[in-house]
A and B are shown apart, each in its own frame.
Chain A
Amino acid sequence: MEFKEVVGRRRSIRFFEPDKPVEREKVQVILETARLASCAVNAHWLRAIVVERDKIPPDKLNQLKTPVAALTLDLAPIHIYFFCDLGVVKRIKGSRLRELVDAGALAPTHGWSHKFVDEFVYPQILEPMTNNLQGYLAAAMADCGGAAQNALLAAFDEGLGACLNTPNPVLTKQVFGVPDDWVSLWVMLVGYPAESWEAGGQRPRPPFEELYYEGDINTPFRRDAGVVEKLKAAGMITRPAPLPERRQEIMQLAERLNLPT
């Protein structure tokens, strides 16, 4: 699938085919895509634990259910729990930044050297940053968000459906016995969609000009109608929700999966 079409087809899928397994290689593709996300100082905070719904003991599965996501956990065959490993920066002490210098990604043309990394960046910036939890957490989680978004798009590119949910952080850590410095983030539920790919249509978004600016905050970024048309043609901007057939679709899904209406 073309990139723009993948973006256009991504939406939170909440109706999965409960009995259609997801191929292991597709799960690996999702993880491989997360690993290649952009990442500050090449630290890689994101960790993931993949759970096959039918292989996790029922008592653990029940512990992981939140009131809002109990049904989707039952429907989706694969659950990927994402965590933020806050301890990584202190463990690697800038070594992965050095790798970027070795790889020529960070070059002297832009002021980079091993000496700068070893004597300045780690001791003066990174290490102190980890001691200011509020700022550090925000930075690390932003990076995890980017990687999780890559994973999400990969799922759709593989013809799957997916949805990010927020699990109970305390119970999640307890169930998986993760280290103390891992922060529970999201669970990405993955499976083959039981609903149509449009799933009711592209979700409503705030107006473009309300979100993006040009030069200062008083000048909205001008949205070119021609670009919008091109994106529609490329499948990135698709039919907006609500679609007229959605009500009927939900009724049919409720009937087939035996869900309340």
Chain B
Amino acid sequence: MRGEAISSIRDSATVQAWVSGLREQWGEEPADMRARIAILQRFCAFVEREPDAIIEECSRDVDGGKRIRIKKRRFYSEKIDEFQASVEGDARAQARTGNIVRSFLIHNGIFMQGGVGGQ
């Protein structure tokens, strides 16, 4: 993973929102944030989308706020399952990878759950 690619997605609005959501929720930025962003970057390559585009696709503006696009949310939920299945490691490690991408969506307001153990 090239350093400049990481920097470029870190600057995107949705990655900023993710980092700031994690900071707000847990009191500090996770020590492994750079590694998490690298995983998100790999997922973005996997679905051939930029982070901002993923979030934009999953929601739409309506009067008084935003609405989640159910089909797109399901699409990305399935893509995360596929993505985590494609990475090396046991089921737990794979789920942890998928959960990092889920966390990106969650902190951008896209409701998402994994199964037990992230399956």
- Which residues of A are at the interface with B, using a C-beta cutoff of 8 A? 18, 67-68, 70-71, 74-75, 247, 251, 257-261
Contact = CB atoms under 8 A, between A and B. Distances in A.
Given A259-B99, A260-B102, A260-B103, A71 B27 contact: no
B117 A260 contact: no
Given A258-B92, A260-B106, A70 B99 contact: no
A67 B103 CA distance: 15
A258 B118 contact: yes
B8 interface: no
24 contacts: A18-B116, A67-B70, A68-B111, A68-B113, A70-B115, A71-B113, A71-B115, A74-B116, A247-B25, A247-B27, A251-B26, A257-B117, A258-B95, A258-B96, A258-B117, A259-B99, A259-B114, A260-B99, A260-B102, A260-B106, A260-B114, A261-B25, A261-B26, A261-B99
Interface residues of B, number: 22
Given A258-B92, A258-B96, A259-B99, A71 B114 contact: yes
Which of A70, A71, A251, A259 gathers the greatest number of chain B CB atoms within 10 Å? A259
Interface of B: 22, 25-27, 70, 73, 92, 95-96, 99-100, 102-103, 106, 111-118
A75 B113 CA distance: 12
Contacts of B25: 247, 261
A3 B117 CA distance: 36
A261 B113 contact: no
Contacts of A18: 116
A74 B119 CA distance: 10
A71 B100 CA distance: 17
B116 A257 contact: yes
Contacts of B100: 260
Contact of B116 (A68, A71, A247): A71
B26 A74 contact: no
B68 to A, nearest CB: 8
Most chain B Cβ neighbours within 10 Å, of A71, A75, A257, A260: A260
Contacts of B103: 260-261
Given A74-B115, A258-B95, A261-B99, 6 more contacts: A71-B114, A71-B116, A74-B116, A247-B26, A259-B99, A260-B118
Contacts of B106: 260
A74 B118 CA distance: 11
B107 to A, nearest CB: 9
Contact of B113 (A67, A247, A251, A258): A67
B54 to A, nearest CB: 15
Nearest to B99: A260
A68 B73 CA distance: 13
A69 to B, nearest CB: 9
A75 B116 CA distance: 7
Contacts of B114: 71, 258-260
Contacts of A74: 115-116
A258 B116 CA distance: 7
